[in-house]
Chains A and B, each alone.
Chain A
């Protein structure tokens, strides 16, 4: 190991097989109280044709084995709790523990979605308060909390646009999407029934204004823009972009995945956006949990309000209730009222900061610019405009020695960091997309910078070392080709 590795040392982790491999008949990890009613003969109660034997292959293990199993395998993960997790676009910030605590309170975790509204006033107040906060942060007129994640928020937003345009007489045919956009944007547009037209970025990585003016016509329903975009650059023509669209009767959708740069600084509602989603699992600190759950609320201008998913929370004389009677609604996108437990956590986050959210955005942008400054002499910066909360380099200098962004990312693991986002956005060949968030101290940023500089040096002096990284993990690079060619997707005895 290099003496430049200051953040991580080797430690022993436990070997552990699959839980099924520990199974032995008769062991169990949970017991139930004795039955206090007469036992029923299932075959008789349900009918013999409806009953099964025990679940074949199901694990039989004790409680301590379950605790050790999941503790052991957990140690094979990296986590924000260990250190910087600079995945660009993912906003891996600190997940406050009090949020976990309040989401588990009796009276919050045990509430049933169909209990009477009189017995749900606390839940409704949580929803209403969060809606109001999100309206203020985005500068919008209305918010729906129903979507389960960003991608579902996108779908909700496009369905709102479609319903609105339909009410004007024509839903139109296509949605414009910049080539720098996240994959969910085009995938979503198709489900909303739109054709996708890709818009090439200009030399600065932004929207090509001349081209935009050319292609916006009566067939265009909307432009889906990410702002700051996936290069971390604020679209300085955003006001003009909105005007071009509005002049032709099209709407402006904003992918709000990057709101962490803007909260308290600037509001999409003030710069011409008609509808947008937020990723509460990014900007509002709810834990990613290895891939989810999230929440993707959609904030919109007044004109789209009538089309919101049902139900909508309303307040009458201090009492909260649901309004289901909304004839223009696009309908439901998810059962019940959204990922409520995630919304609780997001509200706890918002309350902790209050207007101080601005400081979080400022620190996030400060960290990204600091890292950019300290690395721009060793990594290629393909787009030079000032960046906000994330910075995107390319591997073009290291590529000369055969070292790719993926290799550098894997080598970062040896230095005690999670990799940044690789190979996205697509407009940067060999992208290194770095988003530190506000949760990193100067010390952590400095260690990251030192690691990245050291890897740049290794890429020149000992490229093999980088290309074969990581060297310190339990498993090395995995054979993904065989995994896809001959998929093994479940354990078999």
Chain B
């Protein structure tokens, strides 16, 4: 086997050195009855060529050659080959969590840079080294708010990503959290008055996403005021992080829970991505996840190390702020390199292009008879359109033209049938938008 660096004679020599006369001896501690007496019934072994062939075969059964207008928490953005080449350096790829700081300075410095970039983007004071993804970051942000306030009532917008809400509910079930959902107004934004009425001294967190699942930006300052007014914390989720290149950062929120997939990570059928928690300095000791900090060695040289570990499971065990151990470090590194390449101007330009493309696509789609914009609130690169017939029927037609059309919202919001979520980014060309518009126009003319 090509991954195993031993010849049979070396194996025998090592076995002799141990003092064993046969290889079975190595497993003497396992009771006879529990030893597997047959080879595993699994496919393989495959050579490198066969492995590549196998996965090319699977790839061919997927969506190659289709133009996609899907977003909904996962975005097609340009990814630089530079970032991918750099993160595949063995020193990054094949190293462990940087517990041994002296030989992990590369990873540690990169985490420190990641934390800094996340703070700059979100307008917050501290950010951690990563969470599993946006959905668990949001959940952990709520648990953090629970610890900080000592309260258990959570007011969450119905327009937060449906799968994020599902994850929160799974975790909440056994921790005593009471999660209440609040609807949206005609703008697609959270119906603030209802939240204001519900706010009381039992509320741990007010939770929104911005841009929300409908692509609409929320009114963060007003929500921050409501939260502050009742002693609760405002948690803001962000699934489309590129929006921060142009949208006002939620600096007045207390905790940010962000998905960083948009920063150079492939959609990869749902993961791995990088979740981020960013917050105020005063809350740092209740933060989950790893943190890298700057310090010096005995000669006064600048260096970095993991710090404030007394929050974490390996020190605090059942009293830890979270059970997270392995995080998404390499994905956070990808985001770091990507953002360094993009830089201040590049991020701005990318965000502006996303706005321009979505404004263009929106206007073009509105020219189709019977098709209209569903919500009036400000959007970044995603928006909801209302169609005269089911989105499913439209999409069936679009697929014939190799277009993966709008996401049918009825799947998550039964009250929003005939509404589809459309996403365009800097990678969507004008020609593709035109094809979508023509395709929908044609689909609507197909007799039912």
Contacts and interface: CB of A to CB of B under 8 A. Distances in A.
Contact of B303 (A87, A109, A386, A478): A478
Contacts of A295: 272
Contacts of A366: 11, 14-15, 18, 23, 26
Closest A-B pairs by Cβ, 4 of them: A354-B44, A107-B59, A336-B270, A289-B330
Contacts of B299: 476
Given A438-B4, A442-B13, A478-B303, A352 B46 contact: yes
Contact of A483 (B27, B266, B294): B294
Interface stretch (A149-157, A297-305, A393-401): A149-157
A151 B325 contact: yes
Interface stretch (A186-194, A243-251, A456-464): A186-194
Given A265-B27, A487-B284, A183 B316 contact: yes
B80 interface: yes
B76 interface: yes
B378 A112 contact: no
B98 to A, nearest CB: 6
A165 B275 CA distance: 32
Interface residues of A, number: 199
A151 B329 contact: no
29 contacts: A30-B341, A50-B378, A58-B339, A71-B89, A73-B105, A82-B91, A119-B62, A119-B399, A122-B60, A122-B61, A125-B61, A149-B326, A151-B323, A187-B320, A189-B318, A238-B34, A239-B31, A292-B326, A292-B327, A337-B269, A354-B44, A356-B45, A363-B11, A388-B29, A419-B100, A477-B101, A484-B293, A488-B294, A490-B112
Contacts of A188: 323
Interface in B335-361: 337, 339-353, 355-357, 359-360
B320 A58 contact: no
Contact of B103 (A114, A132, A133, A473): A473
Contacts of A333: 136, 167, 170
A367 B88 CA distance: 28
Interface string A306-335: 000100000000000000000000111111
Contacts of B175: 191, 193
B29 A234 contact: yes
Contacts of A52: 244, 246-249
B318 A482 contact: no
Contacts of B121: 55, 58
Name the residue in A19, A36, A70, A341 with the highest tally of chain B Cβ atoms < 10 Å from its Cβ: A70
Interface string B37-67: 0011111111010111011111111111010
A123 B269 contact: yes
A336 B61 CA distance: 19
B86 interface: yes
Contacts of B433: 37
Interface string A96-132: 1010111111111111111110011111011001001
Given A114-B72, A292-B272, 10 more contacts: A28-B342, A78-B104, A81-B91, A291-B129, A292-B331, A295-B272, A332-B135, A333-B136, A351-B44, A475-B102
A32 interface: yes
A101 B50 CA distance: 13
A169 interface: no
Interface string B292-318: 111111110111110111101111111
A374 B18 CA distance: 8
A101 B355 CA distance: 34
A362 to B, nearest CB: 6
A112 B323 contact: no
A357 interface: yes
Contacts of B337: 66, 70
B268 A341 contact: yes
A95 B307 contact: no
A107 B65 CA distance: 9
Nearest to B124: A490
A108 B268 contact: yes
A94 interface: yes
A18 interface: yes
Contacts of A37: 356-357, 359-360, 430, 433
A351 B51 contact: yes
Contacts of A54: 344-345, 348
Interface in B61-106: 61-64, 66, 68, 70, 72-74, 76, 78, 80, 82, 84, 86-98, 100-106
B181 interface: no
A385 B29 contact: yes
Contacts of A81: 90-91, 93-94
A70 B86 CA distance: 7
Given A38-B356, A266-B36, A293-B271, A477 B298 contact: yes
B163 to A, nearest CB: 4
A414 to B, nearest CB: 10
User: How big is the B interface, by class?
Assistant: 35 or more
B231 interface: no
Contact of B40 (A77, A358, A477): A358
Scoring B105, B310, B379 by chain A CB atoms within 10 A of each residue's CB, the highest score goes to B105
Contact of B126 (A50, A266, A350, A490): A490
A92 interface: yes
B75 to A, nearest CB: 9
Contact of B407 (A55, A114, A238, A287): A114
A270 B58 CA distance: 32
A236 B112 contact: no
Contact of B18 (A92, A148, A228, A369): A369
A79 interface: yes
B367 interface: no
A335 B294 contact: no
A74 B318 contact: no
Given A101-B52, A473-B102, A112 B291 contact: no
A164 interface: no
A94 to B, nearest CB: 6
A482 B295 contact: yes
B286 interface: no
B80 A30 contact: yes
A281 to B, nearest CB: 6
Nearest to B285: A487
B410 interface: no
B107 A291 contact: yes
Contact of B26 (A342, A353, A369): A369
B42 A335 contact: no
B158 interface: no
B26 to A, nearest CB: 5
Given A480-B307, A482-B295, A106 B5 contact: no
A241 to B, nearest CB: 12
